[in-house]
């Protein structure tokens, strides 16, 4: 595999701490497209081709990648396998992550069956719920457990990440419980903010209603342009 020029610049770690969320989001999209191209057998690609696939412009792609180092060669483009590996390293997905899910209702069960998690290195190792009617039932191959066993399972499986799919009124208590058990990152599907002052917990909120509102806004405003 052809190496990337300056694949990891000396100050990459320091700079990446101040990268805008929008850039990180686009980086994940670049990775998805590169992985598809790699599976299709392609070896090189230009920034303009990546941009076209995502409805962006090529200067945006180059700016995003330049936040993390110098990649590719002018006029030649990017080595797909090499750039894929570099972005995975930047995103932290060049390793496997054990993940737990809290909330085994309809949304939680749907999330547990999403194959993309496993394909990107996120392995669901346990599912939890607080309902006596749900505890002991199966979600896929996993038996739903009580939160009483949270600390033990997090420690035994070296879990750092959790998906939260609980009602809004339970989200804050659940997040505190997860943090005390050693979880450092939460993907929060509850329709409420769970961040707390002085907490080191990293939270990414995914509110489906908010996303639909953003979509509606974009559609309405595109009609007026």
pLDDT for 8: 41
SS (H, E, C) the chain: CCCCCCCCCCCHHHHHCCCCHHHHHHHHHHHHHHHHHHHCCCCEECHHHHHHHHCCCHHHHHHHHHCCCCCCECCCEEEHHHHHHHHHHHHCCCCCEEEEEECCCHHHHHHHCCHHHHHCCEEEEEEEECCCCCCCCEECCEECEEHHHHHHHHHHHCCCEEEECCCHHHHHHHHHHHHHHCCCEEEECCCCCCCCCCCCCEEEECCHHHHHHHHHHHHHHHHCC
pLDDT for 224: 63
Q: What is the pLDDT along the chain (225 residues), one digit of tens a residue?
A: 333 444 343 334 344 557 888 899 999 999 999 999 999 999 999 999 999 999 999 999 999 998 888 887 777 889 999 999 999 999 998 999 999 999 999 999 999 999 889 888 999 999 999 999 999 999 999 999 999 999 999 999 999 999 999 999 999 999 999 999 999 999 999 999 887 777 889 999 999 999 999 899 989 988 765
pLDDT for 17: 57
pLDDT for 20: 85
pLDDT for 1: 36
Delineate the domains of the chain, giving CATH numbers in brackets. 12-89 (1.10.10.10), 97-210 (3.40.50.720)
Predicted TM-score (pTM) above 0.85:
no
């Amino acid at each position: 595999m052809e190496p990337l020029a300056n694949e990891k610049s000396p100050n990459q770690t320091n700079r990446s701490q101040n990268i805008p969320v929008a850039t990180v989001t686009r980086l994940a999209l670049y990775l998805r497209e590169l992985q598809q191209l790699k599976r299709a057998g392609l070896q090189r690609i230009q920034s303009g081709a990546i941009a076209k696939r995502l409805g962006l412009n090529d200067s945006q792609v180059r700016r995003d990648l330049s936040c993390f180092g110098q990649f590719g060669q002018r006029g030649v483009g990017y080595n797909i396998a090499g750039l894929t590996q570099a972005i995975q390293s930047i995103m932290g997905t060049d390793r496997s992550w054990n993940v737990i899910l809290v909330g085994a209702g309809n949304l939680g069960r749907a999330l547990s069956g999403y194959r993309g998690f496993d394909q990107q290195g996120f392995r669901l190792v346990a599912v939890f719920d607080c309902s006596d009617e749900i505890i002991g039932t199966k979600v896929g191959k996993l038996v739903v457990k009580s939160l009483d066993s949270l600390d033990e399972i997090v420690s035994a499986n070296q879990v750092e990440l959790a998906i939260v799919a609980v009602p809004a009124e339970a989200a804050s208590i659940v997040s505190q419980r997860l943090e005390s058990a050693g979880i450092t990152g939460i993907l929060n599907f509850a329709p409420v903010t769970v961040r707390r002052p002085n907490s080191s917990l990293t939270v990414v909120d995914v509110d489906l209603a908010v996303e639909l509102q953003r979509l509606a806004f974009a559609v309405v405003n595109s009609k007026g342009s």
